[in-house]
Amino acid sequence: MVTRIKRVNSSKPMLRNSFPVLTRFSLGSRCSTSIVVWSLVGFLVMLHLYTLISHTDVQRQDTDIHKSHHPILRELEEVEEENILIPPPRKRSPRAVKRKPKRATNLIGEFLDENSHIRHVFFPTIKMAIDPMNEGGNDSFYYYPGRIWLDTEGNPIQAHGGGILYDERSKTYYWYGEYKNGPTYHAHKKGAARVDVIGVGCYSSKDLWTWKNEGIVLAAEEKNETHDLHKSNVLERPKVIYNDKTGKYVMWMHIDDANYTKASVGVAISDYPTGPFDYLYSKRPHGFDSRDMTIFKDDDGVAYLIYSSEDNSELHIGPLNQDYLDVTDVAKRILVGQHREAPALFKHEGTYYMITSGCTGWAPNEALAHAAESIMGPWETMGNPCIGGNKIFRLTTFFAQSTYVLPFPGLPGFFIFMADRWNPADLGDSRYVWLPLTVGGAADQPLEYSFGFPLWSRVSIYWHKRWKLPAQRSGF
């Protein structure tokens, strides 16, 4: 989440993306008219043929649109509808009428209204918590998006804006995120809701369902007010990757002051996945403001930083250096002017994909999927990946915001989409929305730069009230 800030002057200009552009042919006078005419006729014939072919193609794909063809995934790709009734208007006290002009009349309004009668739909009570240690048989391994999720000690998991590292050496998943179990308050009248920095929480798991609290692996600074990690500042979206060359675990995070004017990235390092991490420094990458961010480690071992910049109007992407402790001089602007944040990157069959959200603070908004052949771009926007629920669910990313996409081992094309359902009234009670994400089928809108050719597969995130990972071939 990020608030609007005044413009930051950028010192170093970067190369603009050179998108392929259709240039108008200017036919020289030496060109004979007949060549022009015959070229045109040839072109039209080819175009007609292509239209015929692609038309039958589209018809074939219509029958199994959104499907990834994998039998194990059928169940996860069922479209599950939601029909939530908005409660009738309540009687309001004259004082309440004076205070607030009008009560919520749609689902987003109900979601944002702390006193809504259907609050439990979005934020089920602790009685409904997922408790992997006390789950009797039938409910084992089921995810319930939006419910409180308990760790192995029975405490709600605190790993917001998080990401997951699979550690090959210990064959264990580590989930890192913001530990926000403190009071929510406003630093000043116009300030966004916040929780003082406590640190980065870490949880370990072998099965992605039962999570053991490994403690706070990077803690806030209590006393030193000039320190980046002082509790009055902001630490968001921590992500950890392993550097095969140095054998170190490297954490990148968004570092800011309470007013979001510092707009920097911070770096920390550890010998162990469970920390403690040593905080190294913060900086403005490539000299630019940086707010929501993530890092992505590619198959070839090169890692990238992706961050919202120029007041969140665009994203920047650039490789890290070999030890992952800094950026290099290389960076590109992507999704220029699209105002996206909360980036979550993943790769499938050599193509790069990314899910982003819009910029509306803690309030939910519509997710978009993007794709690129080269990680440095150009990136193209493919549309909203959300399927199921109802229209409002799809327009609000199921009332959540992307944070990470985790590839599922042994099932190419299947991923876990991880998102945060922020609770601005009590940020520490924000919920996790994990849902199946598949790549497959035709993209549902023609792409800007590809003449309508369906170059990339559709990214689909399926709503489920309750679901579990495909058991076969998962190695669990």
Ligand X SMILES: *[C@@H]1O[C@H](CO)[C@@H](O)[C@H](O)[C@H]1NC(C)=O
Residues that bind ligand X (CB under 6 A): 136-138, 188, 224, 226-227, 257-259
Q: Using the minimum distance from each CB to ligand X, give the nearer residue, 233 or 397.
A: 233
Q: How far is the CB of 231 from ligand X (least distance, A)?
A: 12
- Residue 242 identity (one-letter amino acid): Y
DSSP codes of every residue in 324-383: SSSB-S--EEESTTS--EEEEEEEETTEEEEEEE---TTS----EEEEESSTTS--EEEE
Cross-strand pairs, 38: none
Task: Please choose, from the candidates 299, 201, 232, 308, the residue with its C-alpha nearest in 3D space to the C-alpha of residue 265.
Answer: 308
Per the CB < 8 A criterion, the answer to whether 421 and 361 are in contact is no
Q: How far is the CB of 191 from ligand X (least distance, A)?
A: 7
Q: How far is the CB of 227 from ligand X (least distance, A)?
A: 4
Q: How far is the CB of 186 from ligand X (least distance, A)?
A: 11
Structural element, H or E, at residue 56: helix 33-63
Lookup: tokens for 143: 């995810």
Q: Using the minimum distance from each CB to ligand X, give the nearer residue, 185 or 453.
A: 185
Q: How far is the CB of 279 from ligand X (least distance, A)?
A: 8
Q: How far is the CB of 3 from ligand X (least distance, A)?
A: 11
Q: Using the minimum distance from each CB to ligand X, give the nearer residue, 91 or 190.
A: 190
Q: How far is the CB of 222 from ligand X (least distance, A)?
A: 11
Q: Which residues contact 80 (CB under 8 A, 6 or more apart)?
A: 388, 389, 462, 463, 464, 465
Q: Using the minimum distance from each CB to ligand X, give the nearer residue, 262 or 458.
A: 262
Q: Using the minimum distance from each CB to ligand X, give the nearer residue, 172 or 259.
A: 259
- Alpha carbon distance 379, 232 (integer Å): 36
- Alpha carbon distance 352, 371 (integer Å): 6
Per the CB < 8 A criterion, the answer to whether 240 and 253 are in contact is no
Q: Using the minimum distance from each CB to ligand X, give the nearer residue, 277 or 304.
A: 277
Structural element, H or E, at residue 278: strand 278-283
Q: Using the minimum distance from each CB to ligand X, give the nearer residue, 186 or 206.
A: 186
